[in-house]
Amino acid sequence: MSETTEPGVPPPARAVEVLRRKALRGPAYREFVRDIVRLKHARSYLEVGVQSGSTLALIDCPSIGVDPNFIFDRNPAGKKSVLHLYQMGSDEFFRDHDPRAIFGGPVDVAFLDGLHQFEYLLRDFINTEKVCGPASVILLDDCLPINLEMTERKHRPELRKDKAIAGWWTGDVWKVVEILREYRPDLRITPVDVVPTGSIVVSNLDPGSTRLSDAYFEIIDRFAAVELDAKSFETYWKANAPVAAATLTEDFSLSLRTRA
């Protein structure tokens, strides 16, 4: 299939997907998460949405895992000396528990990979930033969908056209990147080319910011009905062209150390 198209003529959906797949050439997301935790010399890690523990098991520092339904198929403790598991939804977790009290300090690295609907990820981000330090990083999973159908709000693999990747579901969490760019221009937002559907590294955090929580209902009203079409999908990808994971994991000048 040719990947070139005439200017102004939208490429066929399949060609767009091929291009997007080529843009994501980095390591598997869980290796990237592990590398960031190590490079930051993180002393504390929070993962929202743990499932089988395939990422959590790779993390060596004291950790918290939150998921309403753990389905571990390996030992999630790995080499960690301390692991706290909360089998509950993230809203309930943040309502009843404070990671700073659990760790005795802020969360250094957080990986948000819970329910893939934008209002959940937005709340997870708001709640997580509050318990981070200014030099912490929050990683958002699945915000670079490679086709439109995987952005459906409810995962219905049986209705998907591309059966080969019908199991991939990003939902509409991509909206959170748009929301952060608009409402929090103070944040540093770096899309990264990890497979299968990207990682967004959010840094320059402000744990005291109330901008998102103050505007929460306005944001939900504005973004609830928004959907990507072929044109806005292209615009979103242009605005969020991913950098190679190695530019972060091999650049030690990024002062990745979290705490002295």
Ligand X SMILES: C[S@@+](CC[C@H](N)C(=O)[O-])C[C@H]1O[C@@H](n2cnc3c(N)ncnc32)[C@H](O)[C@@H]1O
> Which residues contact ligand X (rule: CB under 6 A)?
30, 47-52, 54-55, 66-69, 89-90, 113-115, 120
Nearer to ligand X, 16 or 170 (CB): 170
Smallest distance from ligand X to CB 109, Å: 13
Residue whose CB is nearest to ligand X in the complex, by number: 49
Nearer to ligand X, 67 or 149 (CB): 67
Nearer to ligand X, 32 or 103 (CB): 32
Smallest distance from ligand X to CB 54, Å: 4
Amino acid identity of residue 151, one-letter, is T
The answer to whether the beta carbons of residues 243 and 191 sit under 8 Å apart is: yes
Nearer to ligand X, 58 or 254 (CB): 58
Smallest distance from ligand X to CB 131, Å: 15
Smallest distance from ligand X to CB 126, Å: 14
- Tokens at residue 191, please? 């899309």
Smallest distance from ligand X to CB 195, Å: 13
Task: Report d(CA 67, CA 69) in Å as an integer.
Answer: 5
Smallest distance from ligand X to CB 69, Å: 4
Nearer to ligand X, 67 or 178 (CB): 67
Nearer to ligand X, 91 or 162 (CB): 91
